[in-house]
Amino acid sequence: MQYMKIEFIELPGDDYFTHYLCIDGDIDIKSGIHKKTLHPSDESIKLLGNVPIKELSEFFTDIHYSAKADWSDWEFAMRLILSKDAPSFLENYDPEPVYLLLACNIDYINWRRHYSIHQLQQAFEEVLSSRQQTEYYFDPTGQGIFGIIIRPDNQDITLEALALRAIEIAEPVQKEAMELVAAMVAPDVITTLFDFPEEIKTACKQYLLYFAQFLADVGIKVGTEIKETAGKVLFTVVPEDANVALDNIKKALRLYMEAPGSSPGDSAAMETDKEDIAIMRWQSAVHYLRSQLSLAQAELQAKNATIEYLNLSLYVSKQAMLPNVQMDVMPRRPRDEEPIVEGVLSVRKYDLLPGLSLDLPQIFRALKKLFGFKT
């Protein structure tokens, strides 16, 4: 069965490509063919995606194109190898002539990340070494290309189906590799990946930025960094004092992120702490976050959101949490009241929303105790 009419149209005046690709009479002037190696345009690759690779092998030795995934910071170079006659066929890798190579298409010249490409390559190799039905590829010519080899179960599979399978395989591999990279380069920092809904992402990022001041108010100096990667928010905390226990900072971060969504029954403003500037600063940050979340409330309710939406720790991207972060988001126990030190402190309710209140001073004192400071 022939799915479409494929022709080679001579391309004059080019030093490398000799022909254009022509599909059903339409010449693709953005494509190029060298010998039988095809470099198609995006439009042509969509059309060829519906063709079984067995039929494609009648025309081409290999097909090279790029693919994107919304979870990756870089594109992927896709090479469908259809014959041992392909110039990029890997003799050392392959007894079988048909496979798809998915390689990380990285800009080596403009690389400006806190980890090296070599560390990323090592992480990919380590992850793939423990996985079945996937193979690690590293360019033996020294060009630094690395990625995954995917073999089709049979040649009746279409190019599109094989490419989708490759992307599905690559996603968990790359996420796990990024976790390993983080462990290599930053053993003394805390890095957490949040997957905030778009409606509240900006407000949540601003609240995260205040975390450094929040810790400074209990005597801990840290640096923080926020960046977006593949639609998610990567939040990094770097203690200035190497002797500070990272576990304590993780606990503080969990309390901080849970605060805006504390359960009914948590009390809030204590009369004796009205003038505490640190508490007032934190209250201001929570107030601002609440006001921003209120603006999105109607849309969130349309999506069946609950008051738990205010607990930002629920948006930790569990699949992509880096290994030096164990925030252990714990479900809160429902309770009618939160006991305070009886006979010492008087409390009054501090209402964030109807049915929602928060004990900021109590949490603040707990943090001081956690870090060994007198309350």
Say how far apart CA 118 and CA 106 lie, in whole Å. Answer: 12
Q: Does residue 157 belong to any structural domain of this protein?
A: yes
Helix or strand (DSSP H, E) at 48? helix 42-48
Adjacent-strand bridge partners of 348: 269
Does 117 reside within a domain?
A: yes
Domain boundary among the residues 165, 185, 205 is at 185
Q: Where are the alpha helices (DSSP H) in 108-236?
A: 117-129, 159-185, 201-209, 211-216
Say if residue 202 is in the same domain as residue 110: no
Q: Which two tokens stand for residue 167?
A: 């992307």
Give one word for 25, left, alpha or beta, with left for phi > 0 and alpha for psi -120 to 50.
left
Helix, strand, coil percent values for the chain (each to nearest 5) = 35, 20, 40
Are 65 and 204 within one domain?
no
- Asked whether residue 1 is assigned to any structural domain, the reply reads no
Which of 170, 185, 200 delimits the end of a domain?
185
Residues 62 and 210 in one domain: no
In a domain, 127, yes or no: yes
Of 321, 337, 344, which Cα lies nearest the Cα of 270? Answer: 344
Establish if 50 belongs to a structural domain: yes
| Residues 194 and 180 placed together within one structural domain of the fold | no
- Residue 374 has a pLDDT of 52
Residues 103 and 209 both lie in one domain: no
Are 199 and 338 within one domain? yes
Q: How do the pLDDT tens digits run along the chain, 375 residues long?
A: 567 899 999 988 888 999 999 999 999 999 999 999 999 999 999 999 999 999 999 999 999 999 999 889 899 999 999 988 887 655 555 556 788 999 998 888 878 777 788 889 999 999 998 887 788 888 766 567 889 999 898 999 999 999 999 999 999 999 999 888 877 766 677 878 888 888 788 888 888 888 888 888 878 888 888 888 767 888 888 887 767 777 788 888 888 887 776 543 443 433 334 446 777 778 788 878 877 777 776 666 666 554 344 556 666 654 333 333 333 333 333 333 333 334 433 334 445 444 445 555 666 666 666 666 554
CATH number, position 118: 3.30.1460
Residues 203 and 158 in one domain: no
Place of tokens 């029954």: 265
Residue 181 within a domain? yes
The domain containing residue 104 runs over which residues? 6-185
User: 272, exposed or middle or buried, with CB in 10 Å at 0-12, 13-18, 19+?
Assistant: exposed
Assigned domain for 321 exists: yes
Cβ-proximal residues to 340 (8 Å cutoff; 6+ apart), any chain: 267, 270, 347, 359, 362
What's phi and psi for 105, nearest 5 deg? -90, 85
Residues 227, 355, single domain; the answer is yes
- Say if residue 29 is exposed, middle or buried (CB neighbours under 10 Å; 0-12, 13-18, 19+): exposed
Domain end among 185, 201, 217: 185
How many domains does the chain contain in total? 2
Chain Cα centroid distance, residue 132? 24
Query: Do residues 224 and 113 share a domain?
Result: no
Other Cβ atoms closer than 10 A to 317: 16
In this structure, are 170 and 235 located in the same domain?
A: no
The pLDDT of residue 89 is 56
Query: How many whole angstroms separate alpha carbon 366 and alpha carbon 375?
Result: 9
- What are the tokens at 72? 């990756």
- 225 and 177 in one domain? no
375 in a structural domain: no
Residues 199, 160, single domain; the answer is no
